Amino acid sequence: MECRLSTTTQNRKVRKVIWKWQRRCWLVAKAKGGLGKGLGALLPVFDEEEILKENADEVKKIALAEIIPNPEQPRKVFDEDEMQDLAASVKEHGVLVPIIVNKNENDTQYVIVAGERRYRAAKRAGLAEVPAIVKNYSEQEMLEIALIENVQRSDLNVIEEARGYKLLMERFGYTAEELAKRMGKSRSQVANIVRLLHLPEEVIAMVAEGKLTAGHVRPLLALGDKAWQIDMAENIYHDGLSVRQVEVLINQMKDEPSTAEKAEKRAEKKYDDELNTELKIVQEQLKEVFKTKVAIKNRGGKGKIEINFYNEEELKRIIDLLGGEFY
């Protein structure tokens, strides 16, 4: 079925029919596992002449007082200038495209699934009600739809996207690979985005505020030390470094042993000398299991076990051996 549409029509009946077709295509896409195909699978459009053959009315007016935003909507930041422009347009023309809301049997209010910007603009414009389509989605479907809609339209900053992915993984048990298929991305893309949440909150905030990009801060993950990561992020911002300059700088820092690293090597030698025979045997056994350098550091009955890795694939392999899930 051909999926084309001119969206300039002002005919109310036509617009309502359009949304019926969109609902139909959403159900078809869902049945075929189409959520991961991107926004086209969620909100497709069709040839206007074909739409006119249909006669349906699923759009209803709902009071703004009965509608609430989705508390788990991934998007948290709304551009103020864009919102002012949209509110002015809504005040003059009204809300032309219905929002999608959800209401289950036990709900007392409608929860926004898609269209929060239009809802906010309508409130600013002083409207009492908005056109809406009421659905009955599960909690999981609501979160998926909101995330897909925003990701495909590039409405989320990368931190909002990462938190949305993490929520789906933690609440609904998605692996990075499964989530990648749902979102129409590669596994490495999803994993790299979620890994940004391993950075300190101070660095995450700088990305969310648009001071730094994901490309600027991703190399900082290699530093490990959180205080160091924060200092580097602030320097990158104040010095106006490019992503390439950051990558070169971080590689130089990794290649040059610090005073702390030199001291640690001296301490390692001392620990090796003090390590008893039994622990040395265990250490060698662990090296065989993980196929990498393993160090057991013991002092007074306390200590730690260090397992080295040198790239992302080695880290994934080690985590798999430990029975964990690599994000």
The set of catalytic residues is: 116
* Separate counts of helices (H) and strands (E) for the chain: 16, 7
Tell me which amino acid residue 1 is. M
- State how far the Cα of 167 lies from the Cα of 190, in Å rounded to an integer: 13
Residue 40 has phi, psi (to 5 degrees) of: -60, -30
- Structural tokens at position 6: 């001119």
SS3 track for 221-278: HHCCCHHHHHHHHHHHHHHCCCHHHHHHHHHHHHHCCCHHHHHHHHHHHHHHHHCCHH
- State how far the Cα of 115 lies from the Cα of 131, in Å rounded to an integer: 11
H helices of the chain, where? 12-31, 39-42, 48-52, 80-93, 116-124, 139-152, 158-172, 176-183, 187-195, 201-208, 214-217, 226-239, 243-255, 259-274, 277-290, 312-321
What Å distances lie between residue 96 and 50, 59, 93, 99, 119, CA to CA? 21, 11, 7, 9, 12
Per DSSP bridges, beta strands 67-68 and 294-299 are unpaired
